[in-house]
Amino acid sequence: MIKMNKVLGKKGVKLALLLMTAMLVVAGCSSNGGSKKGSDVSIEDRYTVDPETPAWQLDKKSESTELTWYVNADWWNTDFGKDVVTKKIKEDLNIDIKFITGDDTKLNTFFAGGDMPDLLTIFDSNSPVVQKAATWALPLNDLAEKYDPYFNKVAAADTLNWFQLKDGKTYGYPNYSNTQADYDSGNIPAKTAFVIRKDVYEALGSPSFGTPEEFKSVMNQIKTQFPDMIPFGFNSIGEGTGSLGDVLQDFIGVPLETEDGKFYNRNLDEDYLTWLRTLNAVYRDGAISDDSFADDGTGFEEKVKSGKYATMLLDGTPQQGGNLQIFMSANPGKEYIAIDGPQSTVGHQPTLNQSGITGWMISYITKDCKDPAKAIQIFTYLLSEEGQKLMNYGIEGETYKANSDGTVELLPEVKDLQLNNADKFKKDYRMGEFMFFGHDRHKALSKDAFPESIKQMQEWGQGKLKPHFILENINPDQGTAEARGLTAINTTWNTTMVSMIRAKDDAAFDSTLADYKAFLDKNSWDKIVEIRSEKMKANKEKLGIK
């Protein structure tokens, strides 16, 4: 019996040890993060680098390279090689890409698990993932030098400079990164507009909306003449307060910085507050619907689609392009048109914002990449003129033709498909959708790049854009007390702004504003302003702005 127990005891100990080992192994797996050394590939028997020729044209690697590419967006279409665009990429580069998509949780798993994909695309350029890219991604400068010097010809120097980390290297490259040169070229279309339904505008005798008094009286007129419509609408209130926050500030041209180049709290600008008071008066007259403050994106879009709003301050006209087009097609002569709308009471010009130098998606080559040479070739290829045209318009002669003036035009049958069978167009061609390195300057090459409904709005915006580069990525680093303070302040501003517009009387308006100011003082606003001012200074140095 005793012997028996001893045996069992040993077994018990063994079992316990086994379980503990299992735990350690599993726990260990979760903590060996992305600190692997980058794999070096030899390109000796493949090609010799030539600064004048893209490496993808030189590379003689015969077998197809398989790469995994993680995109931090659930909605990304993971097909590769089935449509015109990706089929061409697959053939030209002799690659096969396996796309994986997911949300932040999955992204975190990659980092925690240490088993990284070859390429990685994320969206938030203010996140620690971007700031600490040196620990997990390969520097594009080194890759270009080693495998594909042509990359430096197609990449924008300003953009590379902008994404440079403290070690002097750049790890990620964004899309829709607009440089000063892009702004100067006039190729970037405006995406903000004050729009009004054409029939309403004509019925009212094309009035002016410029001053607060004019705005108030026209809104009242709309209310009496068109009782079924909501006189004034705006993008759904969410983070950033819809289009009544910084978008309205841009619209009336609130300054971006103080005169001595420090951070300026645009929310408290007198000019802007005058317009908020005006909106409050308009609300009290019943010309702004309460529902506009509770509507989510879908609710707002439904109203755009059905032409429910008489006027709108609209941000993101391309995103609303489809809805505006639906209304326009069904109601000829009643389409929304952009007019000058509210203007600064102190004579400022509009400073409309567009995608800045930070861009939108940022793509990286990770240290675990199986073939970094091939990976940088993809970057070069997609960034080149050829790649850009392919992503936007497909293949010359097959889907588009180039005009003598340098513009391009989709072939009639392709255009027809785009207009009348959007799903099939998307599936077979996928043009304008595979946009890892897409840029506005290439969108500007063709009339076919944007829907008909917003073209007049884009024309209206010409010359009204002003880069907001100095205000990009200036928030305190995540996880700091200031970042927490800022989150609280932003949330409060959201509530404050809406409460001011919905205020019962002037006294309520003023007390809400006073509460917000008090809240700023309580949440280390001074320090946030200091951090932001410093980051603005660094931005100016990076971009060479005085």
Partner 1 sequence: MNKTAVVPSTSMPPNAKKPMGQRIKDFVIDYKRQWEIQSMILPGIIFMIIFCYIPIYGLTIAFKNYTVIDTLSSAPWVGLDNFKIILSDEYFWDAVVNTLGISFLKLGIGFIIPIILAIMIYELNMGRFKKFVQTISYLPHFLSWIVLGGMLITWFSTSGLFNELLLNLGLISKPSNILLDSGKYWWIATLSDIWKEAGWGTILYLAIMSKIDPTYYEAAKIDGASRLRQIWNITLPNMKSIISLNLILTVSGLLGSNLDQTLVLMNSQNRARAEVINSYVYRMGMTQGDFSYATAVGLGVSIVSVILLVTANKITSKLNDNQSVL
- The minimum distance between CB 243 and partner 1, in angstroms, equals 14
User: Which residues contact residue 344 at a Cβ distance below 8 angstroms, ignoring those fewer than 6 apart?
Assistant: 252, 253, 254, 271
- Complex with partner 1: residue 120 or 352, whichever CB lies closer: 120
Cβ distance to partner 1 smaller for residue 284 or 426: 284
**CA–CA separation, 357 vs 469, rounded Å?**
6
Q: Where are the alpha helices (DSSP H) in 429-524?
A: 440-443, 455-460, 481-501, 506-522
Q: Which residues contact 181 (CB under 8 A, 6 or more apart)?
A: 156, 158
Tell how far CA 243 is from the center of its chain: 16
DSSP, res 190: P
Residue nearer to partner 1 on the CB measure, 295 or 315: 295
CB-nearer residue toward partner 1: 122 or 391? 122
Structure tokens at 296: 């989510």
Nearer CB in complex with partner 1: 60/166: 166
> Which positions ≥6 away from 439 have C-beta within 8 Å?
175, 176, 177, 178, 182, 388
Beta carbon nearer to partner 1, 351 or 366: 366
| Residues 136, 111: Cα–Cα separation, whole Å | 9
Q: Is 480 helix (H, G, I), strand (E, B) or coil?
A: coil
d(CA 140, CA 372): 10
- Nearest residue (CB) to partner 1, 288 versus 457: 288
Shortest CB 38 distance to partner 1, Å: 16
- Check: CB of residue 94 under 8 Å from CB of residue 55: no
Closest CB to partner 1 among residues 274, 487: 487
Question: Least CB distance from residue 283 to partner 1, whole Å?
Answer: 12
Are 248 and 278 within 8 A, CB to CB? no
Which residue lies nearer to partner 1 by CB, 109 or 421?
109
> What are the structure tokens assigned to 315, written together?
């941000």
CB 195 within 8 A of CB 337: yes
Structure tokens at 389: 């045209």
CB of 54 to partner 1, least distance (A): 32
Comparison of 111 and 360: residue with beta carbon closer to partner 1? 111
Q: Residue count of the chain, please give it.
A: 546
CB neighbourhood size of 464 (10 A): 17
Q: What is the identity of the amino acid at 487?
A: T
Contact positions vs partner 1 (CB under 8 A): 4-5, 8, 19, 22-23, 26-27, 30-34, 104-105, 107-108, 111-112, 114, 127-129, 132, 135-136, 237, 241, 289-291, 293-296, 299, 478-479, 481, 483-484, 487-488, 491, 494-495, 498-499, 502
Distance in Å, CB of 522 to partner 1, minimum:
9
Whether 337 and 196 have beta carbons less than 8 Å apart is answered as: yes
Smallest distance, partner 1 to C-beta of residue 68, A: 19
Task: Compare residues 180 and 494 and give the one whose CB is closer to partner 1.
Answer: 494
**Two structure tokens written together for 94:** 């002799």
Q: How far apart are CA 365 and CA 120, in angstroms?
A: 6
Q: Measured between alpha carbons, how far is 520 from 132 in angstroms, rounded to an integer?
A: 30
Place of tokens 């410029």: 210
Q: List phi, psi (to 5°) of 321.
A: -50, -45
**Which residue type, as a one-letter code, is found at position 260?**
D
Q: How far is the CB of 154 from partner 1 (least distance, A)?
A: 29
Q: How far is the CB of 123 from partner 1 (least distance, A)?
A: 12
The DSSP element (H or E) to which 315 belongs, if any, is strand 309-315
Rounded distance, CA 129 to CA 72, Å?
A: 12
Q: How far is the CB of 391 from partner 1 (least distance, A)?
A: 29
> At closest approach, how far in Å is the CB of 333 from partner 1?
27
CB of 111 to partner 1, least distance (A): 5
Q: Smallest distance from the beta carbon of 292 to partner 1, in angstroms?
A: 9
Question: Closest CB to partner 1 among 26 and 507?
Answer: 26
